[in-house]
Every structure is written in C-alpha cells, then in structure tokens.
Amino acid sequence: QKEVEQDPGPLSVPEGAIVSLNCTYSNSAFQYFMWYRQYSRKGPELLMYTYSSGNKEDGRFTAQVDKSSKYISLFIRDSQPSDSATYLCAMSARGQGGSEKLVFGKGTKLTVNP
Amino acid sequence: DAGITQSPRHKVTETGTPVTLRCHQTENHRYMYWYRQDPGHGLRLIHYSYGVKDTDKGEVSDGYSVSRSKTEDFLLTLESATSSQTSVYFCAISSQTDTQYFGPGTRLTVL
C-alpha cells in the first residue's frame, strides 16, 4: 500500500460547481497536511496548510483532515475556470533536524468548464 | 516563486554527458530539496540539504549527486545522463517550521 493515495482523475466540472478532492494515507505519524496547486508547466504553489485534524477555510477553499480515517479533503466552492489545474496533496511527519520531508499524492487534474 | 530561481529552465543533452542544474534562493531558508516529476509517479524526492555541506538522499537518488557550498545555492548533478533521467526537476525550500515552496522547474531531455 502506498503511503499516500490520490485519484488522478481527470475531473471535469461546470463553472460554479463544488469540487471535492481527496487523499488517503497509511502512515499514522503524518501530522502536517498540505494542498498544492500546479498549473500546467509551472511549479507547485502552496494552497492550504493544516496541522493535525480539523477544518481550515480560506476564501473559496476548505481543507479537512480526519486523522482517525486517515483521509484529507479539499473543497472548492463556486469553482472558476482559473481553478483548472492539478491539485497535489502532501503530508509529513516531522523529520530530521525539524525538516519536513513531504510525501506527495500523484495529483488530481481538475478542469472547470465555463 | 518565493525567491527561488532555477537554471537552466530547459536543457536538451545527450546520453552520457554530465549535467548540472542550479537552484538559487534569496530567502535564506535552511532546507533545500530536489524533486523530479514524471507522469504516473508524481513528485519524488531526489536529495535534500539541511544546511551548508549537509545533504542526504531521497527516494530516487541513484545517478544523482548534490552539493551545497552556500546557503543560497543547491546544485544537482547528473554525472552521466541517461534517458530515464528525462524529467521535470523542481527545487524547493523551507525554513525550520514552514512548509516547502517550489521553484519554476527545469525541463530536462536526455536523447
């Protein structure tokens, strides 16, 4: 079983839809959870960062972490064509010297159609 | 891209030639990382550094070496490039407690 599983999609939705992106993981030591957005031919950019369980909201984006189920989600409300990108989940346990060695999901490609 | 530059941005080379990719940061972050990104595999860690002259291997380090002689620069070297090293290479940085920020990437093609 891979440490982090993420459905690669692709996922295609109409503009204005609510999008749900998910990852599951197997390592119970993970305590830092992130979502990155990657536009085509660009580097990943940090979208959301959460520690331990719970919800975090930032504008149209909500990140949820359920450590008991080893399941994290990213919700996008009122999706826009500009949200079309690949979304990567990432997580870590605190590593050597405090550095965060991230484990990434393979990414879900999202297209929001006007 | 959070004060991170990568050079070159694109490179085409031939099998067996040495290649060096450079990552430069202006954030004075302690940690620097090299990843490769391939379809079907996602982002995979090649090497990372936790300080000047302090480096360690990631999950796909075979065929790669790194050096960090200054805080701001992290070099990735392919001693003898192979076609399997055709990929997009990303550098990332982080401070003690922050998460990682990525550079714009280098697209490498080995013929």
d(CA A19, CA A11): 9
- Evaluate the CA torsion angle A29, A20, A81, A108 in order and state its sign: positive
Closest partner CB to B94 (pick from A43, A45, A100): A100
Question: Under a CB-based contact definition with an 8 Å cutoff, are residues A13 and A110 in contact?
Answer: yes
d(CA A27, CA A21): 19
Q: What is the 3-state secondary structure (H, E, C) of B45-108?
A: EEEEEEECCEEEECCCCCCEEEEEEECCEEEEEECCCCHHHCEEEEEEEECCCCCCEECCCEEE
From the CA of A100, how many Å to the nearest CA of chain B?
Answer: 7
> 3-state DSSP call for residue A55?
strand
> What is the predicted pLDDT for the residue at A54?
85
d(CA A113, CA A109): 13
From the CA of A10, how many Å to the nearest CA of chain B?
Answer: 13
Contacts of B50 in chain A (CB under 8 A): 96-97, 99
Closest partner CB to A49 (pick from B40, B43, B99): B99
Does the beta-carbon distance from B42 to A106 stay under 8 Å? yes
Burial category of A10 from C-beta neighbours within 10 Å (exposed 0-12, middle 13-18, buried 19 and up): exposed
Split at pLDDT 50, 70, 90, the class of A99 is: low
Mean pLDDT of chain A: 91
Reading the block at residue B110, the tokens are 């080995």
Contacts of A32 in chain B (CB under 8 A): 99
Kindly list the structural domains of chain B, giving each domain's residue range(s) and its CATH number in brackets, ordered by start.
Answer: 4-110 (2.60.40.10)
The helix (H) or strand (E) run that includes residue A14 is: strand A11-14
User: Quick one: what percent of chain B has pLDDT higher than 90?
Assistant: 86
Residue A76 — φ and ψ, nearest 5°? -120, 115
Check CB contact of B5 with chain A, cutoff 8 Å. Answer: no
Residue whose C-alpha is closest to residue B23's, from B53, B54, B59, B48: B48
From the CA of B100, how many Å to the nearest CA of chain A?
Answer: 8
d(CA B55, CA B23): 14
- Count the Cβ atoms, other than its own, within 10 Å of residue A87: 25
Kindly list the structural domains of chain A, giving each domain's residue range(s) and its CATH number in brackets, ordered by start.
Answer: 4-113 (2.60.40.10)
Per-residue pLDDT tens for B24-81?
999 999 999 999 999 888 899 999 998 999 999 998 999 999 999 999 999 999 999 9
What is the residue whose two structure tokens read 């990567």? A88
Compute CA B72 distance to the chain's CA centroid, rounded to the nearest angstrom.
13
> 3-state DSSP call for residue B12?
strand
pLDDT at position B97 over 60 = no
Per-residue pLDDT tens for A63-90?
999 999 999 999 999 999 999 999 999 9
Does the beta-carbon distance from B50 to A105 stay under 8 Å? no
